[in-house]
Amino acid sequence: MNKIHMNGPVVLIRGAGEQASGVGWALAKAGFRVVMTEVANPLMVRWPVCFGTAIEEGRWQVEGITACRAESAASDCQAAWQAGEIPVLVDPNLEMLSVVKPLILVDAIMAKKNLGTKRGMAPMTIGLGPGFTAGDDVDIVIETNRGHNLGRIIYSGSAQPNTGIPGEIKGISKDRVVYSTKTGVFRAKRDIGDQVLAGDCLGEIDDGIQTANVVTLIDGVLRGLLRTNTPISANVKIGDIDPRGQEEYCWTISEKARALGAAVLLSILESGLISPLRGNE
């Protein structure tokens, strides 16, 4: 694969989890100088396809594009772009915003609420999912709910409200996602990519007094699982079971993340803020 040439406008993406990484991947492929921000210890169930994994690993690749942990926005970002890589900063409060000076800011934290993004932080601001209102706190909102309107570009108003129910895959919704039952330390007993059956133990949560097993309710492939020895709170997403059972889906960007990446790219091009960029081969 040829080196990715990142010489276009700077795009700052808040968040470096699964959906944010789909957006970052699409924009990097299009030639934008992408920089992503994260918290110091991000909780990522599908960490193999998250650029935020670079926070712990130092460097991480998703479908041919590499992200690297950056300590300094002033020097490390430029070096990363020259190498064709996405820098990831530990900067959840955007303290380095004035140094990065993005033309476009994308809030892809997927928190179901606005954690501080405002119009004026960049010439163009985009919010993914519920919690944002186009024309108010951001310029554009992208629909993130699975279904007919996934990836819809919203120029006025908000995305669909958070249902609290995971989208259906092969007719299965909430049972495909595994949540923690208490606060403690999660220890994995299975690996992403494993084929599992209903009732199988995926790991355990140790609260310092006793341990509780974490089990799957359905058959499928273990598409996502928190890394072992991760401290968690109660009712936190721990695992993701894909009932389609295709192991290759564990290591590639999901259809949802690809749709969101395409929608963000289209919204930027439609804005007229920039000229179309030369793509990467």
Please state the three-class secondary structure of the chain as a single string.
CCCCCCCCCEEEEECCCHHHHHHHHHHHHCCCEEEEEECCCCCCCCHHHCHHHHHHHCEEEECCEEEEEECCCCCHHHHHHHCCCEEEEECCCCCCHHHHCCCEEEECCCCCCCCCCCCCCCCEEEEECCCCEECCCECEEECCCCCCCCCCEECCEECCCCCCCCCCECCECHHHEEECCCCEEEEECCCCCCEECCCCEEEEEECCCCEEEEECCCCEEEEEECCCCEEECCCCEEEEEECCCCHHHHHCCCHHHHHHHHHHHHHHHHHCCCCCCCCCC
Task: Please tell me whether residues 189 and 258 are part of one structural domain.
Answer: no
Task: Write down the pLDDT at residue 201.
Answer: 97
Residue 155 pLDDT class (50, 70, 90 cuts):
very high
State whether 97 and 132 are in the same domain. Answer: yes
Q: What pLDDT is attached to residue 169?
A: 81
Please tell me the total count of domains within the chain: 2
Same domain, 106 and 232: no
Please check the confidence at residue 5 and state whether its pLDDT lies above 90. Answer: no
Are residue 121 and residue 231 in the same domain, yes or no? no
Q: How confident is the model at residue 167 (pLDDT cuts 50, 70, 90)?
A: confident
Q: Is the pLDDT of residue 3 over 80?
A: no
pLDDT at position 46 = 97
Question: Is 5 inside any structural domain?
Answer: no
| Residue at 248 is within a domain | no
pLDDT of 164 reads 76
- Please give the mean pLDDT across all residues of the chain: 94
Is 277 inside any structural domain? no
Q: What pLDDT, on a 0 to 100 scale, did the predictor assign at position 278?
A: 57
Residues 231 and 118 in one domain: no
The model's pLDDT over 48-60, given as tens digits with 9 standing for 90+, comes to 999 999 999 999 9
